[in-house]
Amino acid sequence: MKDEVQSPEDRSAKLKGMGCSRKRVEDVRFTQGRGNYVDDIKLDGMLVGDFVRSPYAHARVASINAEAALAIPGVLAVITAKDLEPLGLHWMPTLAGDKQMVLADGKVLFQGQEVAFVVAKDRYAAADGVAAVEVDYEELPVVTDPFKAMEPDAPVLREDLAGKTEGAHGPRRHHNHIFTWEVGDKDATEKVLAEADVVADEMVYYHRTHPMPLETCGAVASMDKVTGKLTLWGTFQAPHAVRTVASLISGIAEHNIRVISPDIGGGFGNKVGVYPGYICAIVASIVTGKPVKWVESRMDNLMSTAFARDYWMHGKISATKEGKITGLWCHTTADHGGFDACADPTKFPAGFMNICTGSYDIPVAFLSVDGVYTNKAPGGVAYRCSFRVTEAAYFIERMIEVLAIKLGMDAAELRRINFIRKDQFPYQSALGWEYDSGDYHTAWDKALKAVDYDGLRAEQAQRIEDFKAGKTRKLLGIGLTHFTEIVGAGPVKNCDILGLGMFDSCEIRIHPTGSAIARLGTISQGQGHATTFAQIIASEIGIPADDITLEEGDTDTAPYGLGTYGSRSTPVAGAATAMAARKIRAKAQMIAAYLLEVHDDDVEFEVDRFVVKGAPERFKTMKEIAFASYNQAIPGVEPGLEAVSYYDPPNMTYPFGAYICVMEIDVDTGEHKVRTFYALDDCGTRINPMIIEGQVHGGATEGYAIAMGQEIAYDDMGNHKTATLMDFFVPTAWETPHYTTDHTVTPSPHHPIGAKGVGESPNVGSVPAFSNAVHDAFRAFGLVQSHMPHDQWRIWRIAENLGLHS
Amino acid sequence: MIPAGFEYHRPADLSSAIGILLEHGDEARVVAGGHSLIPMMKLRMAELAHVIDLQDIGELKGIELGASTVTLGAMVTQHELITHEGLAKAIPVIREAALQIADPQVRYVGTIGGNVANGDPGNDMPGLMQCLDATFTLFGPDGTRDVPARDFYQAAYFTSRSDDEILTRITIPVPAAGTGQAYVKQKRKIGDYATAAAAVLIGNGTASVAMTNLSDTPVYSAEASEALANGDIDGCVAAMLASIDPQEDMRGPIPFKRHVAAVILRRAIDSALSRKS
């Protein structure tokens, strides 16, 4: 056979395994318009639901009159909280241990809140029905500022919690208070701060924004009254969790619920939570006996489902005169909106905000977070980041810059002298994490060299002189970031969501002719799992990636897993994939040994075959082994070749990176131009470099949007001011910077293939890089801190306040 | 984001269109490219029983280049304005401005007539037409009448066009040879309305200045134009700043808008001067 004379290298290349920039197998259908998204699902007799939404941010709902709506041809039902109450479904549990109204139960707490669900024969009739429902509101005082919400005489938002002094995460001390979460050593930190040479004290606000998947959220519920089975298609980042939660709150037995996530057009955290639309579609299907579809409009999406960030982070960082950091203190006021619907592991009400010591060896630290209710939409999801990690990274990377100003030091050098050293890993952080691995100095030096950091600083100094001399009106900012992520939630011992342990899974079946199908508990929303997980299997067991089908998202067929968010797919399900593959390889070794008539230990794996040690001409390919496994009686070995692995990771993984942004700023108009954006990522073992590069481009573009203009803004009346793409900034190709990507490789020591996850690093790392560039441009003129987003008028205001316009 | 039900009309000539307008009164509106009206209908901020699509009316099309004037049919698209070489030669600032409107997909459908007739203070062409001293021709039940662009705009979405009239043509005097022309626009991103935009013509002893999205109408200032004609740039800017009345929105607060209005106007003047011969 031709194959037999090929070198191991040639055979390895044919597998398209790990390290290969294999083209995305998904793109064939996506680029031809053949994807199958929730809104593409059309079932016989399918009805459509749409919401009546509150125009007020805080009001009593005195009455709802559906008469005129029901008179519209095609409108079949108008469901209100009163209809859901007998089923116990007028409220639903949130992922954060709070509860949320499915439909307004006597009052509304944010503009856009779901008040009634109109069910109609098509979208047009549903929209007419929504317009015809008459709701009588009595306005109540509105509070949109979390600090004002905590004042003694602030309006009471959650009347359902009256008198409840104990919340899901401990004591509540005010009627709008949700929780206080404390980590670290308070007394020791305060002592260090009190005795320090230098303390930088600053408020760092990470504004409210919103994930922007191309596809909004939606679901189709179909209750088959004959079989008693409920099928639920939806934009779910965690289909198995949705099935379990749906069973627990509806009382339908879990085996009678099938949840399917079809193709998903981006998630970015927006599709982790459970939304009223899902519940209403299910109830409407049960009531009508017909399939019911609910799909958000873009405005619905921006107003109601899952915002991100909105953290006011007050920080104090202390150091010696020489710049050695001695302590970090942070108090965060977290604005959660009307309900606490944060998507965090249950034991972490502020997510992994306690990664806020970042890449630095900080001996002592203390973090406290207060969650607060306001008249804004609920959510608090991880927008392309592991739970609150982007807030933490932004906080520490701003505090480092503020400290550098206080010390009069170069911010690159300040980072360098405080990095955790390579020999300190595994590193125990002051706030409780064990960083698995890292080599920050190498990455940092490589990044600074790549952008010619010293040359940039010299150019900047010249620019400042020219500006002062009136020769230019443009300033130059150099934005530095060294971020450390914490991803891959997570070890079941401390990570669960609503009690569901955060392991993940993979099941692999090898077919008799040597091709395979693999199924995972995760669900791709654009990450390219069908491409990359096949590459892991290809490298582990020697079957070409092109011969492996990969399926996710159908709870009737896929093994149980907690889904895709927080860069957890590769760290957890990727590990399960490697482990399942290794089980198959172990069995294949026994079969090969039997076929070659040698002892198990006398054969060894080589790319795509087992060879007899010392006799490379004697071998059995995986293809031959697969056929034999089904068709040859082998004593003591069961027929078939398949395996499943449920992987409970021993630790998180800690990807890191060095990002540098060089930005030109027009002092007079507030306009900016990104001249250079350099992104060095270390995500451990690299499975598909092309997909990594794509992830970095996508995440950095989201980060660019967030830093430079994207926000969810409310006025004092709680009116949503950014509910369309006119005002909610999404960059086009024109605005998007050019990116230069780079990497170092520090494999995770505890992950089977050493991979760490990369999808979210570029969002986490780029936001501080862009923001620090803006700040850095004005550092010479006295700027210390100015909150994002850095849109034109806010940059103009910096210059105005510094007197640069006179 | 679904409009209320409506009847769609697609007449082939102007008089039929006027007939439908007369028949249905304020329940009917004409639609050109639809980029303003259709989103308003989808938000149900505009509910109309009858929509009259003008795209089949041949009389509303065409770009005519005369010796001293250029005439644009109301249904000429932004894309046609950009790609018409003769027009670009005669009045290059029209192409410069049209290229800063929205994006190519919108410009394939968006029309000059819709842009100027809707009275949206964010639109770019009204200010430019005032700067160029264009004249709008309106056709109604009583025949046609001409209204100077500088007299056309009364308030946001209110113009001197009455409900039973259709804007048919725009006539623009061709600026004298050597006139420096410029349109400078600050915006947040591709597709956005102006934070501030300025249209400037500078000839020998003549000048014309208008600005966009800094008041509830486009702002042409005779005083600013005269100052600029006399070479007094500071006076021009001061006069314009006295004429604008920007409002706070997500683009920024009033002091910011007033500041960038002056900056953008100066840049447009610099650009026009550099092109003057």
SS3 string, chain B, reads CCCCCCEEECCCCHHHHHHHHHHHHHHEEEECCCCCHHHHHHCCCCCCCEEEECCCCHHHCCEEECCCEEEEECCCEHHHHHHCHHHHHHCHHHHHHHCCCCCHHHHHHCEHHHHHHCCCCCCCHHHHHHHCCCEEEEEECCEEEEEEHHHHEEECCEECCCCCCEEEEEEEECCCCCCEEEEEEECCCCCCCCCEEEEEEECCCCEEEEEECCCCCCEECHHHHHHHHCCCHHHHHHHHHHHCCCCCECCECHHHHHHHHHHHHHHHHHHHHHHCC
Residue A329 forms contact with B (CB below 8 Å): no
Tokens of A549: 């089908």
A-chain CB neighbours of B189 within 8 Å are: 709, 729, 731-732, 734-735
The predicted structure's pLDDT at residue A386: 87
Per-residue confidence (pLDDT) for residue A567, from 0 to 100: 85
Of A123, A299, A735, the CB nearest to B189: A735
Per the CB < 8 A criterion, the answer to whether A119 and A126 are in contact is yes
Element (H, E) at A551: strand A548-552
Positive or negative torsion for Cα B98, B103, B107, B113: negative
Query: Is the alpha carbon torsion for A95, A96, A97, A101 positive or negative?
Result: negative
Short-list A507, A523, A505, A520, CA closest to A565: A523
Indicate whether A682 pLDDT > 80.
yes
The reported pLDDT for the residue numbered A346 is: 87
Radius of gyration of chain B measured on its C-alpha atoms: 18
Q: Transcribe A319-358 into DSSP letters.
A: E-TT--EEEEEEEEEEE-TTS------TT-TTTTGGGTTT
Contact B191 A735 (CB under 8 A): no
Check residue A453 and give left, alpha or beta (phi > 0: left; psi -120 to 50: alpha). alpha
Query: Is residue A157 helix, strand or coil?
Result: coil
A&B contacts, CB < 8 Å: 64
Quick one: tokens of A88? 């116990």
pLDDT, tens digit (0-9, with 9 covering 90-100), for A139-182 = 999 999 999 999 999 999 999 999 999 999 999 999 999 999 99
Q: What is A2-35+504-647's CATH topology?
A: Aldehyde Oxidoreductase; domain 4 (3.30.365)
Q: Residue A575, exposed/middle/buried by CB under 10 A (0-12, 13-18, 19+)?
A: buried
Contacts of B5 in chain A (CB under 8 A): 124, 128
* Domains, chain B, ordered by start: 7-53 (3.30.43.10), 60-173 (3.30.465.10), 180-275 (3.30.390.50)
Residue in A356, A385, A506, A683 annotated catalytic? A385
CB contact under 8 A, A668 and B263: yes
pLDDT for residue A499: 86
Interchain CB distance below 8 Å, A792 and B253: no
Residue B170, phi-psi category: left (phi > 0), alpha (psi -120 to 50), beta (remainder): beta
Inter-chain touch B189–A729, beta carbons under 8 Å? yes
Q: DSSP per residue over A434-462, as a string?
A: EE----HHHHHHHHHHHTTHHHHHHHHHH
The full DSSP string for A706-720 is HHHT----B-TT--B
Q: Which two tokens stand for residue A601?
A: 């230990």
Mutate to test the interface with A, among B99, B263, B270 (most CBs of A within 10 A): B263
Q: Show which of residues 265-304 on chain A sit within 8 Å of chain B, judged by CB atoms.
A: 297-299
The residues with which A381 forms a beta bridge, in sequence order, are A308
Q: Which of A24, A384, A398, A585 is catalytic?
A: A384
Using alpha carbons, select from B254, B212, B15, B18 the residue that is nearest to residue B127. Answer: B212
Q: Which residues of A touch B252 (CB under 8 A)?
A: 791-793, 796
Higher pLDDT, A765 or A248: A765
Q: Read off the tokens for B34.
A: 């639809």
Read off the pLDDT of each residue in A216-245 and give the average, rounded to a whole number: 95
Which of A299, A721, A727 lies nearest to residue B1, judging by beta carbons?
Answer: A299
Q: Is B85 left (phi over 0), alpha (psi -120 to 50) or beta?
A: alpha
Half-sphere exposure (Cβ direction) of A802: Cα atoms closer than 13 Å: 20
Residue from B186, B249, B256, B265 to probe the interface with A (highest A Cβ count within 10 Å): B256
| Residue A198: strand pairing partners | A319
Which chain A residues touch B250 with a CB distance below 8 Å?
A: 713, 721-722, 727
Q: Which residues pair with A642 in a beta bridge?
A: A509
Retrieve residue A569's tokens.
Answer: 């797919």
Q: Is the sign of the CA dihedral A779, A781, A787, A788 positive or negative?
A: negative
> Is residue A114 flagged as an active site residue?
no
Mutate to test the interface with B, among A39, A668, A791 (most CBs of B within 10 A): A668
Structure-token match 């089975």, residue found: A229
**Model confidence pLDDT, tens digit, residues A374-430:** 999 999 999 998 899 999 999 999 999 999 999 999 999 999 999 999 999 999 999
Contact B253 A735 (CB under 8 A): no
Q: Do A123 and B189 touch (CB under 8 A)?
A: no
Question: Which chain B residues are closer than 8 Å to A732 by Cβ?
Answer: 103, 189-191
A284 touches A49 (CB < 8 A)? yes
pLDDT digits 0-9 by tens, A6-41: 899 999 999 999 999 999 999 999 999 999 999 999
Is-same-fold flag (A2-35+504-647; A307-489+652-801)? yes
Q: Rounded mean pLDDT of A685-694?
A: 97
Helix (H, G, I), strand (E, B) or coil at A365: strand
**Which of A202, A527, A760, A779 is an active site residue?**
A760
Q: How many whole angstroms separate alpha carbon A653 and alpha carbon A649?
A: 9
Integer angstrom CA distances of residue A489 from A242, A276, A437, A485, A644: 18, 26, 16, 12, 20
Task: Confirm if A424 and A361 have CB atoms less than 8 A apart.
Answer: yes
User: Is B250 close to A669, i.e. CB distance below 8 A?
Assistant: no
Name residue A739's amino acid: Y
Interface check A735 vs B, CB under 8 A: yes
> Are B201 and B128 contacting, i.e. CB atoms less than 8 angstroms apart?
no
Residue A690 has pLDDT above 80, yes or no: yes
Q: List chain A residues with CB under 8 Å of B191.
A: 732
Q: Is A752 on the interface with B (CB under 8 A)?
A: no
CB contact under 8 A, B5 and A128: yes
Contacts of A793 in chain B (CB under 8 A): 251-253, 256
Quick one: pLDDT at residue A2?
Answer: 46
From the candidates B250, B258, B265, which should be mutated to test the interface with A, based on the most A CB atoms within 10 A? B250
Q: How confident is the model at residue A88 (pLDDT cuts 50, 70, 90)?
A: very high
Residue % of chain A over a pLDDT of 90 = 95
- Give me the phi and psi of A781, to 5 degrees please: -105, 5
Contact (Cβ atoms closer than 8 angstroms) between residue A249 and residue A92: yes
Domain limits, chain A: 2-35+504-647, 38-140+216-264+272-304, 307-489+652-801
CB A382 within 8 A of CB A269: yes
**A495 in active site:** no
Residue A635 has pLDDT above 50, yes or no: yes
Question: How far apart are the CA of A234 and the nearest CA of chain B, in angstroms?
Answer: 21
Average pLDDT over residues A777-801: 98
pLDDT bucket at A704, cuts 50 / 70 / 90: very high
- Measured CB to CB, residues of chain B less than 8 Å from chain A are 1-2, 4-5, 44, 103, 186, 188-193, 195, 250-253, 255-256, 259-260, 263-264
Please report residues of B whose CB lies closer than 8 A to that of A124: 2, 5
Beta carbons of B189 and A726 less than 8 Å apart: no
Closest partner residue to B2 (CB to CB) among A124, A793, A797 is A124
A421 classed as catalytic: no
Residue with tokens 């670290």: A184
Residue of A nearest to B251 (CA): A793
**A760 is an active site residue:** yes
At A28, which helix (H) or strand (E)?
helix A27-30
Residue A790, phi then psi, degrees to nearest 5: -90, 60
Q: SS3 sequence, A624-662? A: HHHHHHHHCCCCCCCCCCEEEEEECCCCCECCEEEEEEE
A298 interaction partners in chain B (CB closer than 8 Å): 1
- Say how far apart CA A318 and CA A198 lie, in whole Å: 6
Query: For A99-138, b where at least 16 C-beta lie within 10 A, e where not — what string?
Result: bbbbbbbebbbbbbbbbbbbbbbebbbbbbbbbbbebebe
Q: Are B11 and B30 spatial neighbours (Cβ–Cβ below 8 Å)?
A: no
Residue B70 Cα, gap to closest chain A Cα (Å): 32
Angstroms from A215 CA to nearest CA on chain B? 15
Distance CA(A77)–CA(A184), nearest Å, equals: 53
**Inter-chain residue contact B260 with A713, CB threshold 8 Å:** no
CB contact at 8 A, B147 and B138: yes
Q: Residue A494: what pLDDT? A: 87
Residues A525/A267, Cβ–Cβ less than 8 Å? yes
- Is a pLDDT exceeding 80 seen at residue A5? no
Helix (H, G, I), strand (E, B) or coil at A193: helix
Mean of the pLDDT values across residues A209-226?
96
**CATH of the domain spanning A38-140+216-264+272-304, picked from 3.40.50.1000, 3.90.1170.50, 3.40.50.300, 3.40.640.10:** 3.90.1170.50
3-state secondary structure of A576: helix
CA A48/CA A276 separation, integer angstroms: 15
* Rg, chain A, Cα only: 28
Contact B188 A709 (CB under 8 A): yes
Taking only the tens of pLDDT, chain B with its 277 residues reads 899 999 999 999 999 999 999 999 999 999 999 999 999 999 999 999 999 999 999 999 999 999 999 999 999 999 999 999 999 999 999 999 999 999 999 999 999 999 999 999 999 999 999 999 999 999 999 999 999 999 999 999 999 999 999 999 999 999 999 999 999 999 999 999 999 999 999 999 999 999 999 999 999 999 999 999 999 999 999 999 999 999 999 999 999 999 999 999 999 999 999 999 9
Q: Which of A792, A798, A806 to mutate to test the interface with B (most CBs of B within 10 A)?
A: A792
Q: How many helices (H) and strands (E) does chain A have?
A: 20, 35
CB within 8 Å: B189 and A793: no
List all residues of chain A from 703 to 722 with a beta carbon under 8 Å from chain B.
Answer: 709, 713, 721-722
Instruction: Please tell me which residue in A237, A525, A527, A695 is annotated as part of the active site.
Output: A237
Picking from A668, A732, A793, the nearest residue to B190 by CB comes out as A732
**Where do the DSSP E strands lie in A246-306?**
257-260, 292-295
Residues recorded for chain A: 806
Q: How far is A778 from chain B (nearest CA, A)?
A: 18
Residue A633 burial by Cβ neighbours in a 10 Å radius (0-12, 13-18, 19+): exposed
C-beta of residue A359 within 8 angstroms of C-beta of residue A325: no
- Residue among B103, B186, B253 minimizing CB distance to A669: B186
CATH class held by domain A307-489+652-801: alpha beta
